[in-house]
């Protein structure tokens, strides 16, 4: 419990010459739910990609289980228990629902049957290819596939974006269920109220730097901060 | 007589097409998964043919050459991917063209130094050195029938491997989005090594199978490389099924064309390719 699953210490990162993250600290412990917040383009996705090993650090350190992860490529970090639902969903268009799920499978509580029970729509469509699914179905598939890896930490980048209200509710419901099962969750989402009510802790990014880290209640009561950095 | 001749040409066309499939399926997979244009793929075909020539000379039979081409090709392909091609995956196509063109020159020099610059024939295995009587007035080479069968078997294995296994679905997934494959905890680079190994093994197997049919000679892979690119374009970049049907189509058009309309045969397939590029750029057999 003391050693975080993954941790950013004073991390700087960006794309080529342009630096996006400036000295970010963030630690995610087992079982914890973290809300990562900030307006468009503030660096949330960049921070996630850096933690996942898709983007190299320009300064600072990313640690996994307390050990410098610089030499751990993305696939190995994933194998050590991080599952991701990326911003664009990353559903394989040419693979069937079943193939998408089975590709990810690693032993644990989440099996193909359990995922299909969680998302009955996917069961109905298990033979359909990724590109034959609606946006909501794709998002369910992306989440179900992440769960198939039986992770310690689930990272969701804009998992409810552009979806119908009912589908959003279903996805929030699933995220709660995952959290309650003891899996750590990092959630990035534009629905501020939903993130605040879900998270144990929130971190707010502004221009690649952390302006707030702490419990959601304190943030909610700070109207000025909420308005300035989250636009609500 | 006429009909028997046509039948023979159709069989020749199919057999040529299936050999083309062995070469172009590797080419299209390597491009689809790694986005690498491998101009040296024809040289791998040549190396397979020379391997067959060398082993047939030593052992007196072609049979050892076939498994040797597959096993040696897999190892050679894996080594090429590991040492060279993975470094060129993210580079521009021009860099890849320079690398693979350099490999062509290197392989040709090696062939010249190790063997020579002459034509050499390779004997058909004694066991298959006869003709099968199909009708009263038509017989067909048993070796060519064996080549047809082997190629069909390999095509079936390729199809099952790519479409029906978990590794196959990982390969298809990596062709779409290698980063997402990594995020699922699967090392996409190992899939690249595998694809390159398989592609090289198939090209070298094709060379070994073709050696008795057309003898071995300098630059013998060049023509096959160009036609294979035509197959890959017509079949749709990265598509195994597309490459299969396109290879059969090209094999038939080329063989029948040369037999019956030799004036047009040289250009027909290129016209077809241009038409596909214009009207169905995703490939003649692409869905939707
Ligand atoms: N591939 C890239 N190359 C160059 N700059 C990029 C790239 N991706 C993002 N950026 C820039 O980095 C900054 C942070 O982007 P990032 O995607 O991390 O923001 P975000 O907080 O996730 O935003 P959003 O809420 O819109 O998803 C932005 O200024 C963006 O323009
Ligand atoms: Mg983002």
- A138-196 tens-digit pLDDT: 999 999 999 999 999 999 999 999 999 999 999 999 999 999 999 999 999 999 999 99
Q: Which residues contact A44 (CB under 8 A, 6 or more apart)?
A: A36, A37, A38, A157, A188, A205
- Of all protein residues, the one whose alpha carbon is nearest to atom 30 of ligand 1 is A41
Residue A145: its chain B contacts at CB < 8 A? 184
Cross-strand bridge partners of residue A64: A6, A67
- Rounded to the nearest 10 degrees, the angle between the axes of helix B2-34 and helix B142-164 is 30
Per-residue pLDDT band at A232 (split at 50, 70, 90): confident
- pLDDT tens digits along A10-44: 999 999 889 999 999 999 999 999 999 999 999 99
Please answer whether residues A97 and A133 qualify as being in contact, where contact means their C-beta atoms are separated by less than 8 angstroms.
yes
- A127 contacts chain B (CB < 8 A): no
Please answer whether residues B157 and A121 qualify as being in contact, where contact means their C-beta atoms are separated by less than 8 angstroms.
no
Cross-strand bridge partners of residue A214: A202
CA of B181 to the centre of ligand 1 (A): 22
At residue A115, does pLDDT exceed 70?
Answer: yes
Chain B: give the shortest CA distance to residue A49, in Å: 10
How big is chain B, counted in residues?
288
Chain B: give the shortest CA distance to residue A222, in Å: 36
- pLDDT tens digits along A67-99: 999 999 999 999 999 999 999 999 999 999 999
Asked whether the CA dihedral B69, B75, B81, B84 is positive or negative, the reply is negative
At residue A1, does pLDDT exceed 70?
Answer: no
- pLDDT tens digits along B103-126: 999 999 999 999 988 999 888 888
CATH superfamily label, A1-76+190-232: P-loop containing nucleotide triphosphate hydrolases (3.40.50.300)
Beta-carbon count within 10 A of A162 CB: 11
Asked whether the CA dihedral A27, A28, A29, A33 is positive or negative, the reply is positive
What are the residues of chain B with a beta carbon less than 8 Å away from any beta carbon of chain A? 166, 169-170, 172-173, 176-177, 179-188
Which tokens in the block code for residue B269? 């397939």
Distances (CA, A) of B257 to B20, B153, B264: 16, 27, 7
The set of long-range contacts for B84-88, using a CB threshold of 8 Å and a minimum separation of 24, is: B85/B34, B85/B36, B85/B38, B85/B192, B85/B196, B86/B189, B86/B192, B86/B193, B88/B36
């Amino acid at each position: 419990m003391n050693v975080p699953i993954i941790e950013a210490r004073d991390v700087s990162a960006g794309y080529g010459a342009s630096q996006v993250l400036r000295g970010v600290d963030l630690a995610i412990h087992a079982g914890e739910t973290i809300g990562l917040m900030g307006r468009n383009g503030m660096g949330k996705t960049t921070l996630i990609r850096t933690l996942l090993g898709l983007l190299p650090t320009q300064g600072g350190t990313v640690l996994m289980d307390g050990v410098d992860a610089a030499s751990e490529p993305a696939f190995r970090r994933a194998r050590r228990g991080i599952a991701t639902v990326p911003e664009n969903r990353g559903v394989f268009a040419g693979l069937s629902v079943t193939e998408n799920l089975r590709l990810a499978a690693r032993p644990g509580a989440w099996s193909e049957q359990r995922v299909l029970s969680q998302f009955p729509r996917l069961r109905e469509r298990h033979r359909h290819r990724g590109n034959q699914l609606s946006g909501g179905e794709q998002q369910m598939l992306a989440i179900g596939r992440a769960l198939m890896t039986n992770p310690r930490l689930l990272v969701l980048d804009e998992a409810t974006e552009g979806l119908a209200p009912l589908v959003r509710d279903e996805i929030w419901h699933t995220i709660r269920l995952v959290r309650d099962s003891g899996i750590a969750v990092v959630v990035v989402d534009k629905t501020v109220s939903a993130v605040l009510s879900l998270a144990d802790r929130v971190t707010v990014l502004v221009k690649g730097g952390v302006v707030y880290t702490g419990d959601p209640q304190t943030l909610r009561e700070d109207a000025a901060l909420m308005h300035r950095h989250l636009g609500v | 007589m006429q009909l028997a001749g046509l039948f023979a040409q159709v069989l020749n066309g199919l057999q040529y097409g299936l050999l083309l499939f062995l070469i172009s399926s590797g080419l299209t997979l390597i491009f689809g998964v790694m986005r690498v244009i491998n101009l040296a793929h024809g040289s791998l075909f040549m190396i397979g043919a020379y391997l067959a020539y060398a082993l047939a000379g030593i052992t007196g039979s072609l049979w050892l050459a076939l498994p040797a081409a597959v096993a040696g090709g897999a190892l050679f392909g894996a080594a090429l991917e590991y040492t060279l091609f993975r470094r060129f995956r993210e580079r521009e196509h021009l860099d890849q063209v320079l690398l693979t063109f350099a490999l062509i020159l290197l392989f040709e020099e090696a062939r010249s130094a190790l063997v020579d610059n002459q034509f050499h024939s390779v004997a058909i295995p004694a066991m298959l050195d006869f003709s099968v009587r199909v009708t009263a007035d038509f017989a067909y080479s048993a070796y060519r029938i064996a080549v047809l069968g082997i190629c069909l078997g390999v095509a079936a294995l390729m199809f099952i491997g790519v479409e029906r296994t978990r590794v196959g679905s990982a390969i298809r997934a990596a062709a779409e989005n290698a980063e997402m494959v990594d995020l699922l905890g699967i090392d996409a680079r190992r899939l690249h090594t595998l694809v390159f190994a398989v592609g090289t093994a198939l090209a070298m197997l094709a060379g070994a199978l073709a050696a008795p049919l057309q003898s071995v000679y300098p630059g013998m892979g060049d023509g096959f490389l160009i036609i294979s690119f035509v197959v890959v374009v017509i079949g749709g970049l990265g598509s195994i099924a597309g490459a299969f049907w396109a290879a059969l189509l090209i094999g038939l058009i080329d063989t029948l064309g040369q037999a019956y309309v030799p004036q047009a045969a040289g250009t027909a397939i290129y016209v077809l390719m241009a038409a596909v590029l214009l009207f169905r750029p995703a490939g003649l057999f692409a869905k939707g």
